[in-house]
Amino acid sequence: MRPIIVAANWKMHTTAAEAGALATLIAGRTQHPDVVRVICPPYVCLAAVRDALAGTGVAVGAQNVHHELAGAHTGEISAPMLAGLATWVILGHSERRREFGETDELINRKLARAVDAGLRPILCVGEQVTEREAGRQADVVAHQLRGCLSDHDPARTLGAGLVIAYEPVWAIGTGRSASPADAATMSQLITRTIAGLGWGQTAAAKVPVLYGGSVTSANFGDFMTEPGIDGALVGGASLKPDEMAGIVARAGVTAQARRAAVG
């Protein structure tokens, strides 16, 4: 059974003084043994959130990592620098692609650095609204996956705990979300594409697929009825303890049902 994961992407919100208290509150409101919980705060808040979450079972993730191990890269953070601060990392988020011009080739290199450093990667893929309207979403996402995962050893990357987050760009921060059926179709495409990269169907089927894009406690349950969706990468709602409590509670229902189904 693939794990059920709820990852919180706080983006550029919270100061170090605020982050620890918020992380503590969310951890206390989202206790569920069958749900993997991750909080990804800004870099400057990593230490505060790490300390606040000690002993809670909630993991800490970074929102990005540089593709080099060290060097003259002012303002950047390398994977080795995250040792002791985070165990997860988000890679290829659409905001990084849009605002910083990150390409699939660059994200591919970041993924290699993350795996080498023992960070569990959440690789983001998703189409723009114009691509969706043109019916090109499958081609776009498959192209992103091939670009980001090519030349990576399947066993090693799977062993690092690769997670894919399908985030239709037009749904991020807009209040719009894809339909559960759309998300399920894209999840199937993601698994097929990974299998076709030389991973094989068995290995590809072990990779969890999350949905992201205006996830709320009100709409999340609909996504979790789809067997190909294994949780969520939550943006704005992840800053609200009540929302996170509702999202994790619903994730827990799905986790328990799937566990019972496999005996």
List the catalytic residues: 93, 167
Query: Any residues with CB less than 8 A from the CB of 118 and at least 6 apart, and which?
Result: 87, 160
Q: How far apart are CA 96 and CA 196, in angstroms?
A: 27
Strand runs labelled E in the chain = 4-9, 35-40, 59-62, 88-91, 120-125, 163-166, 209-211, 231-234
Q: How far apart are CA 251 and CA 224, in angstroms?
A: 7
**At how many degrees (to 10) do helices 241-262 and 16-29 cross?**
40
Query: Any residues with CB less than 8 A from the CB of 31 and at least 6 apart, and which?
Result: 56, 57
Kindly state the tokens that stand for 194. 């990974």
| Cβ–Cβ under 8 Å, residues 20 and 49 | yes
| Cβ–Cβ under 8 Å, residues 85 and 46 | yes
> From the CA atom positions of the chain, what is the Rg in Å?
17
Residue 24 CA neighbour count, 13 Å, CB half: 9
Backbone angles phi, psi at 124, to 5 degrees: -95, 135
Backbone angles phi, psi at 233, to 5 degrees: -105, 110
